[in-house]
Amino acid sequence: MHGFPCLSAALVAANIAAMLEGAASLVSGLWARALDLVFPPRCVSCGAFGAFLCTPCLAAAPPAAPPRCPICWMPSEGPDTLCSRCRSRRFHFEAARSPFIYDGAAREAVHALKYRGLSALAGAMARPMTDCLRQWAPPAGAIVPVPLAGPRRRLRGYNQSELLAWEVSRLTGLPLAPRALVRRRSTPPQARIADEAARRANVAGAFAAGPVVVEGGVLLVDDVLTSGATLDACAHVLRETGAGPVFALTFARED
């Protein structure tokens, strides 16, 4: 990982806030361990007791292995060969990576984190993301999670992308900047929209710069990469505020 750029006062303040949130998370973690004694966790994939995502199921999750497009990480014809989409257009982010294909245990983990309230899964999901990041080593000096709209966040109780970003930050030491982006408006879930052009239209103007300005390389973190429209919209805003280059890391990639 490359050296970190000088952090602005706002980013330092944001990380202090994140540390305070971490202290609250520690208390929450102790409570969660107490609950585990009464209600032992079960794997979201096979149902075995002991962990929300057991080691065998994680090992069996389909890897997003090369050859893949070096920009969007879709399957490609050969090493470092652009896919047909990336030959005809460019994203505002430089490149994206994901350790898994969005299928099997990886898909079940995302659904459990996103829709079943199993926030404790974020730690297990962040470890392979961190391994992928260390092998890739993009020149990023801060981590920015994809923001979630207020109503959806209140309903869910958390932003799953921010939980993953927090865990990746904790494992790598890269500073977290959760307030670098804000969501202007709620949008229909991208998973319900099949057409790529419609997905881009769905998130157009949905994001804006937050109160924290990040300079230098940025790593966007989300749970799933599908068409890349959401990450592209976020990267566009970050680039307009002076950040860059922008890279993206997700837990899974839909092929």
Which residues, 6 or more positions from 6, have their beta carbon under 8 angstroms from its beta carbon?
215
pLDDT per position as a tens digit, 55-66 = 999 999 999 999
Give a yes or no: residue 77 inside a domain: yes
Alpha carbons 138 and 220: distance in angstroms, whole number: 12
User: 118-121: which pairs have CB atoms within 8 A and are 24 or more residues apart?
Assistant: 118/44, 118/52, 119/157, 119/158, 119/160, 119/163, 120/32, 120/41, 120/52, 121/44, 121/52, 121/53
In a domain, 53, yes or no: no
Q: Tell me, yes or no, whether 157 lies in a domain.
A: yes
Domain hosting residue 90, numbered range: 61-253
pLDDT digits 0-9 by tens, 137-194? 999 999 999 999 877 888 888 999 999 999 999 999 999 999 999 999 877 677 667 7
Q: What global pTM score does this model have?
A: 0.84
| pLDDT interval class at 26 (50, 70, 90) | low
Q: What is the pLDDT of residue 193?
A: 78
The residues facing 209 across adjacent strands are: 181
* Domain assignment of residue 23, yes or no: no
SS3 call for 1: coil
Question: Total domain count for the chain?
Answer: 1
Choice between 202 and 88, residue whose per-residue pLDDT is larger: 88
Mean pLDDT of the chain: 87
User: Which of helix, strand or coil describes residue 153?
Assistant: helix
Q: Is residue 101 part of a domain?
A: yes
Q: What is the CATH number of the domain that holds 247?
A: 3.40.50
- Is 243 inside a domain boundary? yes
Q: Tens digits of per-residue pLDDT, 106-131? A: 999 999 999 999 999 999 999 999 99
Residues 6+ apart with CB under 8 A from 215: 5, 6, 8, 242, 243
For residue 191, the 8-state DSSP code is G
Residue 42 forms part of a structural domain: no
Give tens-digit pLDDT for 238-254: 999 999 899 999 999 99
